[in-house]
Amino acid sequence: MLFHVRMDVHIPLDMPIEKANEIKAVEKAYSQELQRSGKWRHIWRVTGQYSNISIFDVASNEELHNILQGLPLYPFMKIEVMPLNRHPSSIREDDS
């Protein structure tokens, strides 16, 4: 199942920079492992914002929910999820 996910990050301004950097480093490692596994297909930065648009390829809503809750920055995110379905006018035979 493919999902379009927008994540807007709002780290508290009073969080010590060392703590924020530590969380970001763990987040990067976690997201890169999910990318290598194929579950996190694409990630794009939204220009001028601390946000990203991502495409996930997972087996279920529950799997996506668990992945998102596992993000170290999850407590500081606003997340919007849109399930995706193949459009009947698509010229592609697969999800590439």
User: What percent of the chain has a predicted confidence (pLDDT) above 90?
Assistant: 89
Strand-pair partners of 52: 7, 45
Q: List, for residues 53-67, the tens digit of each pLDDT value.
A: 999 999 999 999 999
CA angle 77, 79, 81 (to 5 degrees): 165
Beta strands 40-45 and 2-9, pairing class: unpaired
30-56 mean pLDDT: 98
DSSP 1-39: -EEEEEEEE---TTS-HHHHHHHHHHHHHHHHHHHHHTS
Q: Which domains does the chain have, with CATH numbers?
A: 2-84 (3.30.70.1060)
pTM: 0.91
Confidence of residue 96 (pLDDT cuts 50, 70, 90): low
Q: List, for residues 1-28, the tens digit of each pLDDT value.
A: 999 999 999 999 999 999 999 999 999 9
41-45 mean pLDDT: 97
